[in-house]
Structure 1
Amino acid sequence: MNTYRPEEDFLAPPVSLTFTPPAPEPGKSVTLTATLTNTTRIVLRGTVLYLAVDDTGEQDSLGSLAPGRSVTRTWRTRLADDAEGRIVLTAHALFDVHRHGSDCTRATTTVLLPYRSLSGAFDNAGIASDDALTVANFDGSNSSLSTEALASVGLTPGATVTYDDVPFTWPDTLPGSPGSKDNVISFGQSVLLSGSGSRLSFLGTSTWGEGRGDGKVVYADGTEQAFSVAVPDWYGASSSAAVVLPYRHVASGRDDNPVSLFTFGVDLAAGKELRSVVLPKVSDGIQSGAPALHIFAMTLTTSTATTTSN
């Protein structure tokens, strides 16, 4: 029988992971399927396979797995009713390779569920006070918006402001506190909506150039409406800006060049109930030198009222 030789390179056997349905929903079931194939020349003993959704899962003892053999296991679980955002699915196999040693192999994939609100999707801290610059990184190079500069134009936590006849609620976050994300970097996240309206408007800005991308509105009847955005860079006092701030932070301190925030959006089909909006796909995150679109607030305008989200 072949035995493990510590002087040889040991390539962990592969484990694959799939799931159904392809677009899981909160409160509904998802099934994980994992296949472990022993591509080594030794018997994998005491093999255990773990399947998990985030931090919740189950384990299955597989015993010994001979060279060339594969084994498949499935696990069905129900997602929480309030599940949102990134959900990590994992298949993790642990096995003994000899009497005194073990090894493991793992496969993961990420599912992006709809967020229940825009603020639930916040993934970036972009605002810092003048005496605590290091708590925020708006553009990947440690620049940020100033709490004090924002307050000078009425943008205080939770404040309602009106630009282009559209009211927005500024994020009600406390800069510098743990977990104080205050904007979402737009990369195709889905945010749930309800009601109907004439226009969906956003308040935001771009870093490292113009933020261009395509999004879509999804109506309750399943139809979709695509839209595109092209949001200017934040640096400078733009003539098309909704509001201009007198200065910003950079890594070395205060930069007295102004920066701009903008409104943008999409006109909606009259009278149709909404289900969600897929934010424009501009980037996968922030990176110095690469354009990214930041969204702070959105508002659904109707003929008689407005619904704001932060």
Structure 2
Amino acid sequence: MTYRADEDFLNPPVSLTVSPDSPAAGSAVTLTSTFTNSTAITLRGTVLYLAAGGSARAIPLGDLRSGASVTRRFRTTLAADAEGEVPFLAHALFDVHRSGSDCVRASSSALLPYRSLPGAFDNAGIASDDALTVANIDGSASSLSAQALASAGLTPGAVVTYDGVDFTWPGTAPGNHDNVVCSGQTVLLSGSGSRLAFLGTSTWGLGAGDGTVVYADGTRQTFSVSVPDWYGANPAAAVVLPYRHIATGRDDNPVSLFTFGVDLQDKELASLVLPRVSDGLVSGVPALHVFAMTVV
């Protein structure tokens, strides 16, 4: 049967599974994909592309008659320094007639631990006073002022001390990712100490949620945080800035940054699961932003 331009063409299905489903950096993964020609015509010159992170393989399948089903696998090793979201993809490309082709795809991903807090940064919360639109800390185009932060000693890469704890402020220029919106991400830790301390703030209300400290011996310690909203001069704040940016310009109302944390057990650290306060940044939904953390 040949393809007719006026007939309905339902894309044939392609599946994708990844094993193991929770891989680690530097580990081997196997992608398995099945492509089925569920159309009424022969799909010609079919090629299946399988990709994992930065590795990919093109697998020629040739001409597939109607009803044919083919399964192929691709085994590769993730990069030793892989972190965060690693995408997996199955993409089939095929000709439906002499001058036309089509494609279908399936995708998934795995969320690997971040190697450091800066690696987990996913939000730009700081803008310069002369370029307000490069940052958006709350989902409604508001931001911290780089100049107001500098007046409090919070310049890129600066070491500041609050409540007897040294923090390193993000060494990023305005408009770049400078904080992580706490959504349950995992960050690797090392060493030991008596307390894990954070420097951050919340937007759209109280940033409250539960996190987990994981120790090298496999034990887990759950903790809770409850961080006030950034708006206003909060007497419990570590830093109060005289103004902020909003979508229409400068807002001469103060905003606050806070320190908070969890007391640790006397054991070697392995990782931190950040509190799940929100699923990303959404205007009107409370979100907790962490700019720096340290073990003391």
Q: Which TM class, normalised by the smaller chain length?
A: over 0.9
1:1-310 maps to which residues of 2 (within 5 A)?
2-176=1-175, 180-270=176-266, 272-301=267-296
Structure 1: runs of 5+ lacking an equivalent = 302-310
- SS where residue 26 of structure 1 aligns? coil
Structure 2: runs of 5+ lacking an equivalent = none
- SS where residue 137 of structure 2 aligns? coil
How far did residue 66 of structure 1 move?
A: 2.6
CA displacement, residues 34-77 of structure 1 (integer Å, 9 cap, x when unaligned): 11122222222211100012342001111222333321111111
TM-score, normalization: structure 2? Answer: 0.96
Identity of aligned residues (%): 71
CA displacement, residues 161-216 of structure 1 (integer Å, 9 cap, x when unaligned): 1222221111111214xxx2111111111111101111111111111111222221
Structure 2 letter corresponding to 1:294:
H
1-structure distance, mates of 2:27, 2:109: 17
- SS where residue 119 of structure 1 aligns? helix
2-structure distance, mates of 1:174, 1:126: 11
CA displacement, residues 201-236 of structure 1 (integer Å, 9 cap, x when unaligned): 111111111122222111111222222222211111
Alpha-carbon spacing, 1:9–1:292, altered in 2? closer, same or farther (3 Å): farther
Structure 1 letter corresponding to 2:87:
V
Runs of 4+ with >4 A deviation = none
TM-score, normalization: structure 1? Answer: 0.92
CA displacement, residues 15-44 of structure 1 (integer Å, 9 cap, x when unaligned): 111111122111111111111122222222
Q: Is the 8 A contact 2:55 2:76 kept in 1?
A: no
How far did residue 128 of structure 1 move?
A: 1.0
How far did residue 95 of structure 1 move?
A: 0.8
- SS where residue 148 of structure 2 aligns? helix
Q: Is the 8 A contact 2:53 2:78 kept in 1?
A: no
Q: What residue number does 1:308 align with?
A: none
2-structure distance, mates of 1:129, 1:99: 55
How far did residue 269 of structure 1 move?
A: 1.6
- SS where residue 16 of structure 1 aligns? coil
Q: How many residues are paired up?
A: 296
Q: CA RMSD in A?
A: 1.3
1-structure distance, mates of 2:98, 2:282: 47
2-structure distance, mates of 1:7, 1:74: 35
